């Protein structure tokens, strides 16, 4: 388990280094009142790597919605359930793992949707 977390932290660090220096990693929703945020939201907003992961997850999620083979209503319900879990977590490592797992799931679905779309 520790090896997996270390690998995922390394992956997140490499992702952060690949971003342009003027890139603002903080998700737009982080600009709100932090006292009203959940523990998970506060942790994401205060951590650069988690913020980058949130932006990446949002990008994959948004792109996935444009494919006709994707059940968008089911995807939204699933994402809301995932957000409820994310919001309850405050531990950085737990959130890192949760984000990486969700990104992997959505990225796999996006690749499958793209393959189905090709002639």
SS (H, E, C) 12-30: HHHHHHHCCCCCCCCCHHH
pLDDT score recorded for residue 13: 53
> Between residues 82 and 13, which one has the greater pLDDT?
82
> Between residues 119 and 66, which one has the greater pLDDT?
66
Residue 73 to residues 65, 79, 80, Cα–Cα distance (Å)? 9, 10, 11
Q: Confidence class of residue 21 from pLDDT cuts 50, 70 and 90?
A: very low
Percent of the chain with pLDDT strictly greater than 70: 78
Burial of 34 (0-12, 13-18, 19+ CB in 10 A): exposed
Angle between helices 92-117 and 48-64 (to 10 degrees): 20
The pLDDT of residue 23 is above 70: no
Rg of the chain over all Cα atoms, to the nearest angstrom:
15
> Between residues 13 and 54, which one has the greater pLDDT?
54
The pLDDT of residue 89 is above 60: yes
Residues 58-77, mean pLDDT to the nearest whole number = 94
pLDDT score recorded for residue 51: 92
Do the Cβ atoms of 106 and 61 come closer than 8 Å? Answer: yes
Cα(69)–Cα(49) distance, integer angstroms = 32
pLDDT score recorded for residue 29: 77
């Amino acid at each position: 388990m520790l090896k997996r977390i270390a690998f995922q932290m390394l992956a997140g660090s490499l992702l952060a280094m690949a971003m342009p220096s003027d890139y603002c990693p903080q998700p737009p929703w982080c600009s709100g009142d932090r006292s009203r945020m959940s523990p998970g939201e506060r942790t994401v907003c205060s951590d650069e790597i988690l913020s980058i992961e949130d932006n990446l997850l949002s990008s994959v999620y948004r792109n996935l919605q444009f494919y006709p083979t994707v059940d968008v209503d089911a995807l939204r319900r699933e994402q809301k359930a995932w957000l409820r879990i994310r919001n309850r977590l405050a531990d950085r490592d737990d959130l890192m793992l949760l984000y990486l797992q969700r990104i992997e799931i959505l990225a796999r679905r996006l690749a499958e949707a793209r393959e189905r779309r090709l002639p």
